[in-house]
Amino acid sequence: MEDVRLHDEAGTGPVGILDLPDLDSVTREHRLRVEALLPRVDAVIWVTDPEKYRDAVLHDDFLRRWLPRLDRQLVVLNKADRLGAQADNVRRHLERSLLDDTGTTRASAVRVVTTTAAGGDVAAVREWLLGVVDAKRVVIGRLAASVRAVLDDLAARAGVDPGADPGSVLEPAARRRALERAGDEVLRLIDLPGAERRAVAATRAAARPAGAGPLGRITAFFYRASGREARVADPGLYLRRWAERGSLAPAVDLLRTSVDAPVRAAPAGIRPALAASADTPRLTARLRDAVDGAIAARTPMTPPSSRVWPVLGLFQGIATLGIAIAVAWLVLLFLFRPPVDTVDLPVFGPVPIPFALLVGGVVLGFIVAWTLGLHAGRLGRRWARQLGGDVRLGVERAVGEEAFAALERVDAARRSVWDAARAAREACGPTLGV
């Protein structure tokens, strides 16, 4: 601060006037000082003269930027006495050029007064200063204009127009299509039909020990011990190992491709963020975790059971017993070879009972086994359909939530900027540029 002078308020009101250095000389520090102070002042009087009033530095670097931002500005054409009768002409020329610069049609928005060595229209300057006195309103006006300018600039960089709905970067229809196709790809990878087949096999495997009699228990033991049951009759394991059956690349590619056009069309400022929403390694990892979570949420996948199976098992047991007795009987007959007519064979009509028992046991066993298979199969298919439907819903929901999560954040940010810019326009009123 080079010099401080006091003034009486009568002439100018309760204002502090800063005489700033020039903004266009070879001393660059002067301009830097002006640029540092301009954002802090409440009102500006731009002083020029007949030689310099159309200088590019003044107009391009300062007036164009600041006239729309501050409502309290005045342009003084000093040394107007040099212009003689042309002074008013020049003043109007300057006013017109300022209106063109700011793009406004409000003539009252830009005011130019002329001053001379003898004074000139200094009274107009004083009057303007007095009008600036309402400090609170002026400060609020300046702050409002600054806020609005900043938000308008942010909105432009984000590609949103405060006067129109920002919408979504990705059109809803395109988003829906991408999600459907990506979901289909993921489900194809998971292989729900395969899982359903295994669900049916798991149900049958669960029914075997209960409903297939003693032999069923032995068979079930061998199936489990050999690992065959885990390979072909464990839908949970099959679903959990979905990632081994291919790559998520087709699904990720579909999602990524849907964002291509918005990325190309977006303003440069948000392009990196939009492109990052299609970061394929992260998208792949998110999808993988989402699908794993959807499948894990469905576990444990315990096959259904039925009270019918033990009953069938009992009958199967009886049939097995009958077969065993018949076979034992016949074996003993062959082993010991009693002389003919020394053994009394009970008969059932014309058929000896051992044979009848054997045939009856086999038939009964077949019927019971067939019934068990039908019943377990029906239960298993019903369970498989329900399982498949649950997993499908879960996966589709997971894909829908994760696929465009990053893009939704960008949309949310754009909408925030739009909301703020709109609120600023409504609250702060129009600027010179409107």
| Residues contributing to the site for another protein (CB under 8 A) | 19, 21-22, 24-30, 32, 47, 49-57, 59-60, 78, 83, 86, 89-90, 93, 97, 188-189, 191, 241, 243-247, 249-250, 252-253, 256-257, 260, 263-265, 268, 271-272, 275-276, 278-281, 284
Least Cβ distance, residue 77 to another protein (angstroms): 11
Q: Please return the burial class of 337, using the count of CB atoms within 10 Å of its CB with bins 0-12, 13-18 and 19+.
A: exposed
Beta bridge partners of 76: 47, 113
Structure-token pair, residue 199: 């669900």
Least Cβ distance, residue 7 to another protein (angstroms): 16
The helix (run of H) or strand (run of E) holding residue 231 is helix 228-232
Q: Which one, 203 or 277, has the nearer CB to another protein? A: 277
Q: Which one, 78 or 431, has the nearer CB to another protein? A: 78
Count of CB atoms within 10 A of residue 89's CB?
Answer: 10
Least Cβ distance, residue 219 to another protein (angstroms): 23
Least Cβ distance, residue 271 to another protein (angstroms): 6
* 76 φ, ψ (degrees, to nearest 5): -110, 125
Q: Which one, 27 or 386, has the nearer CB to another protein? A: 27
Least Cβ distance, residue 83 to another protein (angstroms): 5
Q: Please return the burial class of 207, using the count of CB atoms within 10 Å of its CB with bins 0-12, 13-18 and 19+.
A: buried
CA-based max dimension of the chain: 159
Residue partners of 321: CB distance under 8 A and separation at least 6: 361
**Hey, CA dihedral for 55, 58, 59, 60, is it positive or negative?**
positive
Q: Which one, 224 or 271, has the nearer CB to another protein? A: 271
Alpha carbons 81 and 354: distance in angstroms, whole number: 141
Q: Which one, 52 or 415, has the nearer CB to another protein? A: 52
Q: Which one, 81 or 419, has the nearer CB to another protein? A: 81
Least Cβ distance, residue 406 to another protein (angstroms): 12
In this structure, the strands spanning 112-114 and 73-77 are parallel
Nearest to 158 by CA among 422, 383, 401: 422
Q: Which one, 90 or 233, has the nearer CB to another protein? A: 90
Least Cβ distance, residue 51 to another protein (angstroms): 3
